[in-house]
Amino acid sequence: MKAAEYNEPIYKALKECVKKYFEDKRNSRFADGVFWIKALFFIMMPVAGYLILLSFGAISLLIVAVSYLLLNAGSTLLVVNLAHDASHQSLSKKKTVNNILSYTWNIMGISKILWEIQHHRSHHNHTGIPRRDVDVDENFWIRYSPTHSYRSYYKYQHLYAPFLYMLFGIFVVYIKDFVMLFSNKLNDYGIEKLPRYFLWRLIWTKLLYILISIVIPVLVLPYAWWQVLIIYLATLSIASGSMLIVLVIPHINEYAVTHEKDVSIKNQDDWALHQLSSNIDSSANSQWLNWLLGGLNTHLVHHIFPNICHIHYLKLTRAIKQTLKERGIPYKERSFVSGVTDHFKFLRLMGMKPAEFQKLNHSSLVLSGSE
* pLDDT of residue 369 exceeding 50: no
Report the amino acid identity of residue 300: L
- pLDDT at 43 (0 to 100): 96
Which DSSP symbol is given to 128?
T
pLDDT at 359: 74
Confidence class for position 257, pLDDT limits 50, 70, 90: confident
Q: pLDDT tens digit string along 111-137? A: 999 999 999 999 999 898 888 899 888
The rounded distance, in Å, linking the Cα atoms of 106 and 108 is 5
Q: In the structure, what pLDDT confidence band is assigned to residue 367 with cuts at 50, 70 and 90? A: very low
Greatest C-alpha distance within the chain: 70
User: Around Cβ 258, how many Cβ atoms within 10 Å?
Assistant: 25
pLDDT of residue 207: 97
CA distances from 9 to 157, 269, 280, 327, 332 (A): 41, 6, 22, 11, 20
For the chain, which residues make up each domain, given as ranges?
3-355
Chain mean pLDDT for the chain: 91
| Residue 52's pLDDT band (cuts 50, 70, 90) | very high
Q: 155, exposed or middle or buried, with CB in 10 Å at 0-12, 13-18, 19+?
A: middle
Model confidence band, residue 371 (pLDDT cutoffs 50, 70, 90): very low
Give the model's pLDDT for residue 363. Answer: 46
pLDDT digits (tens, 9 = 90+) for 287-346: 999 999 999 999 999 999 999 999 999 999 999 999 999 989 989 999 999 999 999 999
Q: What pLDDT is attached to residue 166? A: 95
pLDDT in tens, 12-33: 999 999 999 999 988 899 999 9
Q: What per-residue string of b and e applies to 203-242 under the rule 16 or more CB within 10 Å gives b?
A: eebbeebeeebeeebeeebebeeeebeebbbebbbbbbbe
Helix H or strand E segment including 141: none
Confidence of residue 47 (pLDDT cuts 50, 70, 90): very high
Helix 225-248 and helix 61-78: axis angle, to 10°? 30
Query: Residues 249, 243: contact at Cβ < 8 Å?
Result: no
* Nearest-angstrom CA–CA distance, 216 and 55: 12
Q: Which of 5-9, 132-136, 170-174, 231-235 has the lowest mean pLDDT?
A: 5-9
Of 125, 127, 161, the closest CA to residue 143 belongs to: 161
Whole-structure pTM value? 0.90
